A and B are shown apart, each in its own frame.
Chain A
Amino acid sequence: LAKTTQPISMDSYEGQEVNITCSHNNIATNDYITWYQQFPSQGPRFIIQGYKTKVTNEVASLFIPADRKSSTLSLPRVSLSDTAVYYCLVGERDSSYKLIFGSGTRLLVRP
């Protein structure tokens, strides 16, 4: 059973801001929300992580509402190299070690 729900795909243009939302109704109280980026034939790599409210780093921002049942990854001014699959990841309620990925969101950035 999927623990997270994301849009299957999104299209954007270079220079635009992209927001990808993930739903995670069964998130455990102490779990962080982590986003990963994956290019074809490579392992996913870490983008950003948060617990509540807002987190910002050099590549993205993460917005988490008070109920923590969803989160939104924001990519400012995307470029062609941001074309990838993006996954949000949370732990299961009964075990924070069992890490289940959703189907991810395929982002296509056009010139």
Chain B
Amino acid sequence: DGGITQSPKYLFRKEGQNVTLSCEQNLNHDAMYWYRQDPGQGLRLIYYSQIVNDFQKGDIAEGYSVSREKKESFPLTVTSAQKNPTAFYLCASRGVARGEKLFFGSGTQLSVL
């Protein structure tokens, strides 16, 4: 069953704590993305990666970090520097040919305790 798996579905963070959101895909896609969505708002790009061992900042990268050591995996760490981390986080991937569509995971809801 091909797709994108995000885990956990719900995550709670204590103040000052770093937390990592997992994103795994078995679609053989080169490009992967992380978006943040606040209640009633659109998707904002945090980081994206075109290829293994390479990634670029999106529009709201401050307080977040990523790695891309494997093609299938693109974990997102929400660091303690992110002062307002409560949001719905979506991971996506796509192939790099022209016109390739984005496929999304089911999301992780992060809340602050």
Contact = CB atoms under 8 A, between A and B. Distances in A.
A99 B98 contact: no
Contacts of A51: 99
A61 to B, nearest CB: 17
Contacts of A103: 41-42
Contacts of B90: 43-44
Interface in B29-65: 31, 33, 35, 41-45, 48, 50, 56, 58-59
Interface residues of A, number: 24
A interface: dominant SS: loop
B interface: dominant SS: strand
A51 B98 CA distance: 11
Contact of A98 (B43, B56, B105): B56
Interface in B7-42: 31, 33, 35, 41-42
Contacts, number: 58
B99 A87 contact: no
Contact of A100 (B4, B45, B99, B106): B45
Contacts of B35: 101
A90 to B, nearest CB: 12
B34 to A, nearest CB: 11
A57 interface: no
A106 to B, nearest CB: 8
B104 interface: yes
A74 to B, nearest CB: 19
Nearest to A43: B104
Nearest to A105: B42
A97 B32 CA distance: 9
A85 B39 CA distance: 12
A81 interface: no
Given A46-B102, A87-B42, A103-B42, 19 more contacts: A32-B99, A36-B102, A41-B88, A41-B109, A43-B4, A43-B92, A44-B43, A45-B104, A49-B101, A51-B99, A96-B98, A97-B31, A97-B56, A97-B96, A99-B102, A101-B35, A101-B43, A102-B42, A103-B41
